[in-house]
Structures are given as C-alpha cells and as structure tokens.
Amino acid sequence: MALSRRLPLISDRPLARAGLSSERVLMPNKGPGVFEEEIEKIEDALGITTVEKAVAWAQANSMWPDTFGLACCAIEMMSIVSSRYDISRFGMERFSSSPRQADLLIVSGRVTHKMAAPLRQVYDQMLEPKWVIAMGACASSGGMFNNYTVLQGVDKIVPVDVHVPGCPPRPEALMEGIIRLHEKIKAGLPPAYQIRGVAQ
C-alpha cells in the first residue's frame, strides 16, 4: 500500500514561496522542474534587485569628481586622494579636469562674482545626471566674506546637493558629505537640479 502525502493548499516549493504564480509551480502534486532544482542550489548566492536600484548603485559607486578649487578648502579636497583617506574606495580616484567626463562638481572655497560665470559654464558642460557639493562655509554661504565681491553661497548659481560645513572642513568632513550623497543616490532621490531650479 503506497503512502500518500497530504498536499498543502498552496505549494511549499521555493518558486511558489518567492511569489511566482505559474500553474506548474502552484500545482502541489507536480514534481519539481529542472529550473526549479537549479534555483534551489543557487538561490542563496543570487542577488535580486530592480533595474532602478542597480543603476543607482552603479552611479553612486562610479562617480568622477570635477575639481573647482578656489581657496584654502581646495587643499583639504586634494588630500582625500591620498592613501590616508583613499577616495578610490568609492570609485572616485579619477579627478577630472574636463567637465564632460565628470558627474560631481566639488566647489571648494569662496566664489567671487567674477568666477560665478565660469563656474556656471563648467556646471552646464557636465553631462546629466550631475551632482554638486558645496565644500566649506564660503562656498555654502559666503563665510566671513560678507562683501560686494563674494557670492553669498553657490546655490545662487548652481543647485547644490550637499553642503559640507567648516572653515576649512577637514577631509573627513568631505568624505562624510560624499557618503551622504551616495546614500541619497542609492535611495533614489533625484539630483538637486531636478528638485529645485536656480537663477539663470
């Protein structure tokens, strides 16, 4: 006399548990297919994600910064490529001198009204998607230079994604700003120019 197993109402097979609802998978009395047997072997080593999340992960981990060093903050920015801080851990070791090959603009230092037009030109030449970090008090708000020559914050001419405070900020602070920017990108938040506009 053959023993018959009691069949569940919903199949307990791996693909059915994963949410696949084809007839073959949901039929409890049907034996597993070849594909299903292979899935059981590799499902622990398989990473499943969406295309949007994969693209965001790739964008965050392959960002090429463009340098726009104007004052003392630029010295701190230069030190993040050294072995002590090692920005290459984030895939950012290539500082670009061409805006067409960069997607992150790090504005470090005070921006005078005379430099506002070149800064905007560099930003406009960057390919989308593009991000901006305002490094230091001068780039973020004009700093101690509250006069007629210094722009009171670069967000008046380019949309800024992350402000890094300090005068000048330490390299660790810039690294923290870069990590925060990576978190924004991986979370699916759009760049600042898509959220808010700036004066033309």
Annotated binding residue at 56? no
Q: What is the b/e burial string over 121-153, where b = at least 16 CB atoms within 10 angstroms of the residue's CB?
A: ebbeebeebbbbbbbbbbbbbbbebeeeebbbb
Q: What is the b/e burial string over 164-175, where b = at least 16 CB atoms within 10 angstroms of the residue's CB?
A: bebebbebebbb
Annotated binding residue at 73? yes
CA 86/CA 93 separation, integer angstroms: 8
Annotated binding residue at 115? no
Annotated binding residue at 72? yes
Answer yes or no: are the C-beta atoms of 92 and 175 closer than 8 Å.
no
Residues in the annotated binding site: 72-73, 138, 167
Residues in the annotated binding site for [4Fe-4S] cluster: 72-73, 138, 167
